[in-house]
Amino acid sequence: MKKFKGLLLAMLASATFGFIPLFSIPLLNSGIALDSVCFYRFLFATFFMWIICKVKHVSLKMNWKETYTMFLLSIFYAATSIFLTASYKYMASGTATTIHFFYPVVVAGVMMLFFHEKFSWGKAIAIISGVFGVFFLSGGFSGRHVSIIGFLLVLVTIITYPTYIVGVNNSPVIMKMNGMKMTFYVLFFSAFLFFCNVLIKDGGHFTPLATGGQWANALALSIIPTLVSDFALIYAVQMVGSTVTAILGCMEPLVAVINGLIFFSEKFSYSEGIGMTLVFTAVFIIILNQKPKERQSDKEAIVSEQHGN
């Protein structure tokens, strides 16, 4: 029963992450500026997380070293959120989310090329499969190509998100921190960064949430693909482990694709289907080729995942 619940929670965590474009795209289309969308998402999520911490009696006290480390890591997390959300304006949300899902393959390639991680044919095949997957997601041989701007925006997340994950998993300060406390400060500092961004770029002009629909989408964005996803993810890892949870992460791009087809009339071609299959295959190979020790050390990294995804 515990394993069954863990599988359901892993799918819930992954699936709810896939709802980010469902709530963010209507906000963007209704005239809410990108920076304001991200600010509202993390502001409301921070408030809800603060309530949860108070109910659970989680101390939010921080020393200087913890504050500095969390703020630095939050920069990469916030960057992932804004670049991924921005890419939805230029390309299909399902395609963008699938390309973002490619990041474990990129990490494996970088580790082999620059950090002398042991070569394996499994990882080599995964990298090749992933590269061809992205090629087909970009239009492949169909003659239809995605926006260069959108493609570059989502590629940035392949760098920023792994940097955040690696930082969380390798920082002695963060490893000792309570998970709820860490989640609160990642959300808080992300909201603070977007607040500063609006102050600098737009002179402090936040696009107001003027309609009931805008408020509903902003609140849903902060709750469903943020708080619900995070907590489901934490308990899933505890019940079924990091490897199974990571594999079921494929639900995120699948849900994003389905939402795009149903709610935004996004077209889905054979080329994109082939690309998604190749990317999923590549990610699964990377995860299953991890050594037992690496799988255990990944537990904290997956627990710390906030998707912005």
Average pLDDT over residues 173-189: 85
Residue 139 within any structural domain of the chain: yes
User: Would you tell me the crossing angle of helices 251-263 and 93-100 to the nearest 10 degrees?
Assistant: 170
Length of the chain, in residues: 309
Per-residue pLDDT, 285: 83
Model-level pTM? 0.81
Q: Is 48 left (phi over 0), alpha (psi -120 to 50) or beta?
A: alpha
Q: Which residues contact 175 (CB under 8 A, 6 or more apart)?
A: 169, 300
Question: Is residue 176 in some structural domain?
Answer: yes
Range 169-192 average pLDDT: 85
What percentage of residues in the chain have a pLDDT greater than 70? 87
Closest to 93 in 3D by CA, of 223, 220, 252, 226:
252
Write out the two tokens for 164: 């955040």
What is the per-residue pLDDT for 218?
Answer: 97
Mean pLDDT of the 233-239 span:
72
User: Residue 139 contacts by C-beta under 8 Å, 6 or more apart in sequence?
Assistant: 145, 146, 271
- pLDDT attached to residue 304: 43
Asked whether 211 and 62 are in contact (CB, 8 A), the reply is: no
**Cα dist from 71 to 63, 93, 169, 193, 306, whole Å:** 12, 28, 15, 9, 15
Predicted pLDDT of residue 299:
46
Residue 261 belongs to some domain of the structure: yes
Q: Does residue 305 have a pLDDT over 50?
A: no
CB burial string 262-298: b at 16+ within 10 A, e below: eebebeebebbebbbebbbebbbbbbeebeeeebeeb
* Residue 9: domain span: 2-303
Comparing 162 with 63, the larger pLDDT belongs to 63
**Total domain count, the chain:** 1
- Please give the pLDDT value at position 235: 73
Question: Which of 293 and 89 is assigned the larger pLDDT?
Answer: 89
Cβ 102 vs Cβ 285: under 8 Å? no
308 is a domain residue: no
Q: Judge whether residue 308 has pLDDT over 50.
A: no
Q: Using CA atoms, how far apart are residues 83 and 71, in angstroms rounded to an integer? A: 18
CA 218 to chain centre: 17
The answer as to whether 309 is a domain residue is no
CB-based burial of residue 248 (10 Å sphere; 0-12 exposed, 13-18 middle, 19+ buried)?
A: buried
Maximum alpha-carbon separation in the chain = 57
**Environment class of 100 (CB within 10 Å of its CB; exposed 0-12, middle 13-18, buried 19+):** buried
> What angle is formed at CA 254 by the lines to CA 253 and CA 258, rounded to 5 degrees?
115
- pLDDT value at 88 more than 80: yes
199, 95 Cβ separation under 8 angstroms: no
| The residue type at 55 | V
Q: Is residue 269 assigned to a domain?
A: yes
pLDDT tens digits for range 11-57: 888 889 889 999 999 999 999 999 999 999 999 999 999 999 999 99
| C-alpha distance from residue 134 to each of 104, 130, 205, 252 (Å) | 13, 6, 37, 17
Q: What is the mean pLDDT of the chain?
A: 83
Pair 244, 6: CB distance under 8 Å: yes
